[in-house]
Amino acid sequence: MTSQFPRLFVWHVARYARRHPLLAGLNVLSVALGVSVYLAIQIANHSANQSFAASIDLVAGKANLEVRSPGGGFDETLLPKVAGAPGVKAATPLVEGYATLPKFPGEYLQVLGVDIYTNLPFATFAVGGQSAADWKDLNLESWLGDPQALAIAEEFARLHGLKIGDPLVLQVNGHEQTMIVRFLIRLTDTAAGRGNSRVAALDIGWAQRLLGSNGKISSVQIILDQPREAVAMAAVLAKLVPADVTIAAPGQRSGQVERMLASFELNLGALSLISLLVGMFLIYNTITASVVRRRQETGILRAMGATRLEVQSLFLAEALLFGVFGVLIGIVGGTLLARFLLGREIAKVISTLYLLVSVDRFSLTPLLVGSAFFFGLGSVLVAAWLPAREGARADPVAALSLGLGTTSEKSRLHSGRWLMGGLLALAAALGCSVAALTSGPAFLGFGSAFFVLLGFAFTAPAATSAGAVAVTRAMRFMERRLERVGGAKAGAGSRSPWSAGLTLMSLASQNLGRSLHRNAVVVAALMAAIAMTVGISVMIHAFRRTVEVWIDRAIVADIFMTPSANETLGNGAFFPPEILQALRNEPGIKAVDTVREIGVNIRGDRVSMAVVEGEDRDRLAFVGGDAARKQSEFHRPEHVLVSEPFAHRYKVKEGDKLPIPTPDGVTSFTVSGVYYDYARDAGVVAITRQNFVRRWHDERVMSAAIYLREPGNVDAMAEEIRQRFNTHGEFLIFSNQAIRTRVFEIFGQTFRITGVLRGIAVVVAVIGIFLTLTTLVSERSREIGVLRAIGASAGQVQGIILVESAMIGLLASGLGVVGGLALSLVLTFVINKAFFGWTIQLSFPWETVLLTPVWIVLASVVAGWLPAISAKRTPIASAVRAE
Amino acid sequence: MFYKITCLILWTLIGFAANPGVAADPQGEGAWQQALPGWTYRFPEDHAVHPEFKTEWWYFTGNVQDDQGRPFGYELTFFRQGVLSPDTEAELGKGTQNMGRFAQRDFKFAHFALSDLNNGKFYFTQKTNRGAFGEAGFGGNYSAVANGNASSAGQPLAWIEDWSLVPQADGAWHIVAEVGGDVPMSIDLRVLPLKGPVIEGVDGVSQKAAGSGNASHYYSFTRLQTTGTLALGKSAPQRNVHGESWFDHEWASNQLGPDQVGWDWFCFQFDDGTEMMLYAMRRKDGSVDPVSSGTWIEANGHSEHLRKEEFQLKTLRRWKSDRTGANYPVEWQVSVPSQQLSFSLKGRSDDQELALPLISYWEGAIAAEGKRAGRTVKGVGYMELTGYAAALPGLQNGERTAETGRGGGGR
C-alpha cells in the first residue's frame, strides 16, 4: 500500500479538487489570506528597518567608528582632535540635515555635506556630471566654489524630471534657498542603495551654510589602523570629546532604532498572526468537510489495508498541498499588500511617531519567505491534524454503512471538556496579564490576549449546544402554546403558518446542535474575529478618549507655528529667531511659548528631550498628583520631568537621579515628577529652556505656541501672521482647533493599519460561515431529501439553512462581544501598559459594540444564501436513495 | 615658470568634465583680476599670494648632488586655484558668518618629485588639503620683512601640512617636503638667490595666447644656491646635498587659447654664469604658437627677452612612457643665433613623468652641452613637457580628449 501512496495521493487530491473546486479554492484562499497579511506586515517592518539601516550605510557604510551627538551636531573643532589621534587611519567630517522641497509637496532630501578631500575611503556614492560615473568626473571648481551647486541622486532626478542646470528650491529652517542641480549622485554601495533616492550632497562648507549649522558638524566617520580594536579605540577617543558626543560603531545606531521600533513592530506582527489564527479555523473546517464527505472512500481504503497512519497522512498531505498553494499565493498577495497598502502606511506612521524613514523598496528576503512557509504550513498542519486523525480513526465498517453520521453525539459529550479547557485558558490569560505587568516580559501580554481568544473559542461548543437546546426548547414551548391557542380557535389537526415557522426554527436549531463539532468551530472562528474587532475598537476608542482629555489640558494656546519642514521631517527644522522676536513684539500677542526637541543619550538609547519654555509647564497632569509642588521643582536647576512611558521603560520614579550627558559633561538630573503623555511611546524627558541652555548652550527652538490678548481674534490674527511671515509656505500655522484635528488625523493614521487587519479578519470569518454551511448542506443532502420527501417545501428547506446561519452569527457575536470586551481589557490595561506604559482610561463605544451582532447576523445570512439555494435544489430521489 | 600643470589639471578637473551647456562658469570671468600689461613688480611683496587672481604657483626645481657626488633632481611646487569668485565672495559677505571654515576659497595642492639620476629612478607625489583648520594655506607678511622686522620672516608663504615654503630674513627660502609610504623621501633645503628676480615677458606680462588677459605675471630667480638634506628610500640616511635651483612665481586668471594643446618649457643654468628660459606653446595643428618666447640672462643678472623667431627647437629623440603611452621628446637641439648659442639637451634620465590622478606630465632634470661663441658650454636645468598624455589610461576616451583640446579656452 505504501508504494501506492503517491498515486493514491494524486487520485485523492485531484479528484476532490475537481469535484469541489470552490471548497478547494476557499481552502487555498484562507491560507493565502492569512499568509498575505502576516507577510505584508513582516515585509513592511523589515523594509522600514532596512531602509533605516541603508541610510546609516550611506554615510557610515565603510567606517569602523562614528563620532556623533544624539543632539544632532557638535563643535567642528573636535574634528582635528579625533582625526589626529594615534590609531586613526582616516577620518572625514559630515554635515547632515534635511530639506523640504516646496515645489514637490511632501518630498524631502537628506542633505549630506561631504569633504571630498577626506571622503574617498568612506564614499558609498560617487558624484559626477552627466553620468555620475565616479568622483573623477567631478567639476571640482563648481563643487568647491559654487555655494549653490547641489548633487542629487540620479533616481530622484529621474523621478521628478530634474536635469543638470535646473534650479531646485530647498526649504531649510523656515528659509527658502535656491540651489542648482549641478551633479548627479550614483550610489555605488549596494547596501546604501536600498531605498535611498532622497539624497543630496554638496561641499561641507556650503552645507553648513545651507543647513544653518555653521561651526557644527554632524559626525566624523573613522577608519582605524586596527579595525578589530574598535571597542578599545572608541574608549580612547571618547576621552577627547565632550560627554554628549558618542563614539561607537555605526551599526549600533541601527540597533538603537530597532529597539525603538520593536514594540510597534511586535504589535503589528501579533495582529498579523491573528489573521493566521482565523485562517486555521477555516482550514480545520474544510479538512473536516473533506473527511466527512469521503467517509466511504476512507472506509474502502482502510478495508483494502491502508493503515490509519496512511489515511491520516493522506489528509494531512492534502491539507499541506493546498497550504503550499495558499502560501505561494499569499507570498504574492503579501508583497502586493505591503507595496500598495500596508507598507506605506507603516512607513508613514513610523515617520510621524518615531523617525524619518522613506521606504521606496519592499524587499522579500529568503528568511521572510521561509517564515511565511513555516507559519503558513505550520498553521495548516496544526489545524488539519485533528480532522485528519478523525478521518483515519473511522471504523471501516461504520464508514462503509450507509445512513446518517454519528459524530454529533460524541462531540456533544466533549463540549463539557472544551468548556473546562476554556476556563483554564482564561485562567492562563489572567496569569499572563499579571506576569506581563509585574515581572515581565512584556510580550506575555500577547499571551494573555491569545488565551482570552482561546478561552472564548473553547466555550463555543458548549455555547452552541446550549444555544441550540435553548432555541429548540423555546420553539417547542411556543409551539405548544400556539397549538393550544390554535386548537381553541380552529380545532385539532389544522396547523397555522406560525406553527410551521416555529417547526422550521426548531429544526434549524436541532441541526445546529447536531453538527456541533463543525458548527462550534465556525462559531469559534467568527467569535475570534468579532472579539478582535470589538476588542480593538474598544481599545482605540478608549485611547482616543484619553488623548482627547489629555489634549484638552495640553493644547491651550491659540495659534501654533512651526517651520513647515517639521511636518515632513519630524522635528528637525529650527524656528528663525528674528521671527520669534517679531511675534513677541506684536501688540495683539500676549505671550509666545516655545518648544524644541533634541535627542539625548540615556542608557545607550537615543531618547527625545523636550525643551519647554512658557505657559506649557503649568498644564501637565502628574502620576500621583501634587502638580503644584512638582511644577515648581521642575524649574529648579538640574531638574527634569519624565513622561509615563519613559518612567515605565527605564524604571525611573519621582525623586530618582537621572544622569544625562551634556556638552558640559554628564550631569545628574533629579526627576521631579512623572507626567502623563501620549505623544511618544519611547518616552520623553522634559526640561525647562533655562535649564537646557545652561548645560547645552543652544538657544534654538523649533515651534512656537502663541497666546492672543483677545482670544476671539484667532482667525484674523492667524491670517495676519500668515501674510507677514508665510509668503512662501515656510511655516505651518495651526489654530488651536486645527492642531487638535491634526493630532487626531495622526491618531487615525496610527490605527489605520489595525483597521485593515480587523477588516480582513472579519472577511475571513464570513468566508468561514459560507464554507461551513456549504459543507453542512452537502453532508446533509440525504436528510434534506427526506425532509423534502415528507413534504417540506423548497422554501422551507432554504429557510432552515438561513435560520441556521443566522443563529451561528448570533451565537458568535454574542460570544464575540463578551470575548471582545475581555480582550479590550487585555489590550488596554495589559498590552498598552506593559509595552508602552500608558495609562488609558477605559471607556466603551457602546454603539459600535452593540451594532456588531446586527451586521454579523446579516453577514451570516448573506453567507448562508448560496448554500441555502443549493439545499433547496437538492434532488429528492437521489438524496433519499440510501434510505 | 609656466602655466605648468595647474592649467591642465584644472582643465581636466574643472573645465572639461563639465557639460558645455552648463559649464557656463557660475563665476563670471570678469570677477577675477586679469594679467594686463603695465604691471609693476614690487619685491618682496610680490612673493606673497595674489588672491585677486585665479591661479598662482610657486615652483622650485633644482639639480643637486650629495657629498659623494651622487646627483639628484628635485621639484617642489605649491599651487593655488581660486574656486570662489570674488563676485560670489562679495555676495556672501567676506569674513562674515556666511563662510565657515570648511568653505573653500582656494583649491590648494602641491607636487613633490625626486629624480635619482644615478639609476634613473623617479618618485613623485601630490598633496592636497582643505585647510579648514590651518593645515594648508598661503601667507607671508612681506611688508614686515621689508621693514626689517625679522621675526615675521619664518612665517610660511605657502604650506600644506608639513610641506612648506618659508622665507628667511636674509632673502633665502626654506623649503621642506616629506612623504612616507613604500619609498619615503624628503627634502629640507635652503635656497638663496644669487641674482635678483628676472621679470619674464614684456611690459610685466608673459603672453600665453593671443588676446588681452591671456597672460600671466611671471618672475623667476634663475640661480639659487642650494644646500640642505635629502633622503630617499626606506631607512636611507639623510644626505647632505648642494647644487643650484630655479624658482618661478606666476599668477594669472586666464591664459590659454582654444587651439593650444600643451607646451614645452625649459630652463638652463650654464657653467659660464648665464641662464636661459624658453617655452613653446604647441597648437593642435602641430605648429608652435607665435606668442612662444624666452629670456636670456647674463652672468651679471641683466636679462633679454627672446621672441619666438630668435630661437629654434628641434626634437632629437623621444621616449615612450609605459604608464601612459605618452611619447615625450626627451632630447632636443637648441639654437639661439643672437647669442651664437647652439647646444643639445637631454633628460638626465628618460623617465621623469609624473603620472598623477587626472593629469600626467614630464618634469625632470636635464643636461645641456654645446657651443657659445665658439666656446664649449655645459649646463643643467629642468624641462617640462605637457599635453602629451591627456590623462591616465582609465580616463582616456575620445570625448574627453576632444574636450581637452577645446575646453581650455578662457580659463
What are the extents of the domains in chain B? Answer: 4-407
A528-547: pLDDT as tens digits: 878 887 888 888 888 888 88
Mean pLDDT value of segment B360-370: 95
Whether the predicted pLDDT of B320 surpasses 80: yes
A591-636: pLDDT as tens digits: 888 888 888 888 888 888 988 888 555 567 888 888 888 888 888 9
User: Which residues of chain A are within 8 Å of residue B102 when distances are taken between CB atoms?
Assistant: 76, 93, 113, 115, 203-205, 208
Q: How many percent of chain A have pLDDT more than 70?
A: 86
B192 touches chain A (CB under 8 A): no
Gap between the Cα atoms of A323 and A327, Å rounded: 6
Computed over its alpha carbons, how large is the radius of gyration of chain A? Answer: 33
Question: According to the model, what pLDDT value does residue B149 have?
Answer: 46
Question: According to the model, what pLDDT value does residue A434 have?
Answer: 87
The amino acid sitting at A404 is L
- B14:A139 CB<8 A: yes
Gap between the Cα atoms of A19 and A23, Å rounded: 9
A164-178: pLDDT as tens digits: 999 999 988 778 889
Mean pLDDT value of segment B250-269: 86
Gap between the Cα atoms of A67 and A170, Å rounded: 27
pLDDT band at A129 (very low <50, low <70, confident <90, very high): low
pLDDT band at B30 (very low <50, low <70, confident <90, very high): very low
* Cα distances (Å, whole numbers) of residue B271 to A66, B62, B276, B325, B370: 60, 15, 12, 35, 11
Question: According to the model, what pLDDT value does residue B305 have?
Answer: 96
pLDDT band at B95 (very low <50, low <70, confident <90, very high): low
Q: Which of A380-389, B140-149, B160-169, B396-405 has the highest mean pLDDT?
A: B160-169
Residue A688: CB partners within 8 Å, gap ≥ 6? Answer: A611, A612, A613, A617, A634, A635
Mean pLDDT value of segment A155-162: 90
Question: According to the model, what pLDDT value does residue A206 have?
Answer: 93
Mean pLDDT value of segment A174-189: 84
- A205:B22 CB<8 A: no
- Return the minimum-mean-pLDDT range out of A32-36, A863-867, B75-79, B319-323: A863-867
Question: According to the model, what pLDDT value does residue A517 have?
Answer: 65
Instruction: Compare all CA atoms of chain B with the CA of A149 and give the residue at the minimum distance.
Output: B26
**How many beta-carbon pairs below 8 A join chains A and B?**
100
Question: According to the model, what pLDDT value does residue A113 have?
Answer: 93
Question: pTM, whole model, 2 decimals?
Answer: 0.73
Closest CA to B65 of B334, B380, B285: B380
Residue A601: CB partners within 8 Å, gap ≥ 6? Answer: A70, A244, A246, A607, A660, A661
A450-504: pLDDT as tens digits: 888 888 888 888 888 888 888 778 877 877 777 776 655 554 445 566 666 777 7
The amino acid sitting at A61 is G
Q: Is the peptide bond before A711 cis (omega within 30 degrees of 0)?
A: no
Alpha-helical (H) ranges within A294-406 are 295-303, 308-337, 343-353, 366-393, 396-400
Mean pLDDT value of segment A563-575: 73
The architecture in CATH of the region B4-407 reads: Beta Barrel (2.40)
- Residue boundaries of the structural domains of chain A: 1-53+254-401, 62-249, 411-444+467-555+742-883, 565-729
Whether the predicted pLDDT of A408 surpasses 60: no
User: Which residues of chain B are within 8 Å of residue A164 when distances are taken between CB atoms?
Assistant: 19, 22
User: Which residues of chain B are within 8 Å of residue A136 when distances are taken between CB atoms?
Assistant: 17, 357-358, 395
Question: According to the model, what pLDDT value does residue B145 have?
Answer: 47
pLDDT band at A569 (very low <50, low <70, confident <90, very high): low
Gap between the Cα atoms of B61 and B124, Å rounded: 13
Q: What phi-psi label fits residue A455: left (phi over 0), alpha (psi between -120 and 50 degrees) or beta?
A: alpha
Question: According to the model, what pLDDT value does residue A532 have?
Answer: 80
Of B19, B84, B101, the CB nearest to A130: B19
Cell of A9: 495521493
Measure B359 CA to nearest chain A CA, in Å.
11
Whether the predicted pLDDT of A646 surpasses 80: yes
The answer to whether the CB of B352 falls within 8 A of the CB of B363 is yes
Measure A135 CA to nearest chain B CA, in Å.
10
* Cα distances (Å, whole numbers) of residue B21 to A129, B182, B257: 12, 44, 19
The ipTM, to two decimals, is 0.82
A793 or A196: which carries more pLDDT confidence?
Answer: A793
User: Which residues of chain A are within 8 Å of residue B85 when distances are taken between CB atoms?
Assistant: 145
- B103:A205 CB<8 A: yes
pLDDT band at A765 (very low <50, low <70, confident <90, very high): low
Q: How many percent of chain A have pLDDT more than 90?
A: 12
Whether the predicted pLDDT of A416 surpasses 90: no
Gap between the Cα atoms of B230 and B176, Å rounded: 10
Question: According to the model, what pLDDT value does residue A761 have?
Answer: 67
B408 touches chain A (CB under 8 A): no
Gap between the Cα atoms of B388 and B264, Å rounded: 10
Whether the predicted pLDDT of B262 surpasses 80: yes
* Cα distances (Å, whole numbers) of residue A670 to A659, A690, B344: 9, 15, 87
Strand A149-153 and strand A219-224: the pairing is unpaired
- B130:A115 CB<8 A: yes
